[in-house]
């Protein structure tokens, strides 16, 4: 069995089944604003990547595109009471205590199938007062190795009922060339997201 065959169709079906049910509830409760989603490529391998401040951040990305997004999520989510949910929607389990080669393999498979991958490059939720935590290089490495387009985004505002303050802003997509230094590419990604977060007009 080759890598392209190892993501089961059922996982994508589960995502497509639950999205039209859960998305309206999320939109009604938080009333989020979405900016720039029209620049998300409608085909080809992409990595949607941005800051991480809340457990529901991936929901903002999911409601912003018609594409199925396979999110990379920490292994702990797959060990808890909602493990069935993460498996059902095609999320990828990541063991952060090791260099998780199985997670990397699955992420590469998603991109080789010209699908959408979701990653939070900070690696965890930012509970500090800093704008962003340091980025891990996995995002730019995957993009470089699989000729995937990176679509940066920034989440701003608060997750509060009907506050009408929550928003997600997408930045300009870009690719990492085969000869580009990964540290340089990672800094470019960091700055693209940071600039949106610091822009008081957005």
pLDDT tens for 116-129 read: 999 999 999 999 99
Note the pLDDT of residue 12. 87
Spatial separation of the C-alpha atoms in residues 46 and 6, rounded to whole Å: 19
Least confident of 33-47, 77-91, 157-171: 77-91
In a domain, 16, yes or no: yes
Distance CA 141, CA 155 (A): 23
In a domain, 1, yes or no: no
Q: For the whole model, what pTM was predicted?
A: 0.92
Name the domain count of the chain: 1
In a domain, 85, yes or no: yes
Q: Given this model, what pLDDT does residue 5 score?
A: 44
For 108, the domain range is: 8-198
| pLDDT confidence tier of residue 3, bands split at 50, 70 and 90 | very low
Query: Phi then psi for 118, rounded to 5 degrees?
Result: -115, 130
Residue 2 is assigned to a structural domain of this protein: no
126 and 53 Cβ atoms separated by less than 8 Å: yes
- Asked if residue 108 belongs to a domain, the reply is yes
Give the Cα separation of 161 and 201 in Å (integer). 23
Q: What is the pLDDT of residues 55-92, one digit of tens each?
A: 999 999 999 999 999 999 888 888 878 788 888 888 99
Q: Which residues pair with 71 in a beta bridge?
A: 118
Please report the pLDDT score of residue 77 as a whole number.
Answer: 85
Q: 113-152 burial, b if ≥16 CB within 10 A, otherwise e?
A: bebbbbbbbbbeebeeeeebbebbebbbebbbebebbbbb
Contact of 60 with 53, CB cutoff 8 Å? no
The answer to whether residue 3 is domain-embedded is no
């Amino acid at each position: 069995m080759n890598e392209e065959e190892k993501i089961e169709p059922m996982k994508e079906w589960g995502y497509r089944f639950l999205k039209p049910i859960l998305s309206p509830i999320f939109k009604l409760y938080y009333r989020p604003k979405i900016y720039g989603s029209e620049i998300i490529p409608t085909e080809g391998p992409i990595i949607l990547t941005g800051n991480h401040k809340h457990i529901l951040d991936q929901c903002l990305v999911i409601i912003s595109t018609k594409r199925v997004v396979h999110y990379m999520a920490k292994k702990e989510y797959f060990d808890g009471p909602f493990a069935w949910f993460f498996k059902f929607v095609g999320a990828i389990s990541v063991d952060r205590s090791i260099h998780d080669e199985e997670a990397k393999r699955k992420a590469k498979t998603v991109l080789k199938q010209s699908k959408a991958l979701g990653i939070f490059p900070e690696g965890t939720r930012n509970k500090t007062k800093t704008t962003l935590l340091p980025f891990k290089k996995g995002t730019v490495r995957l993009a470089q190795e699989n000729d995937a387009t990176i679509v940066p985004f920034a989440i701003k505002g608060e997750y509060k009922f009907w506050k009408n303050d929550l928003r997600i802003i997408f930045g300009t997509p870009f690719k990492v060339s085969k000869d580009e230094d990964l540290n340089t590419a990672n800094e470019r990604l960091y700055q693209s997201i940071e600039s949106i977060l610091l822009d008081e007009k957005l």
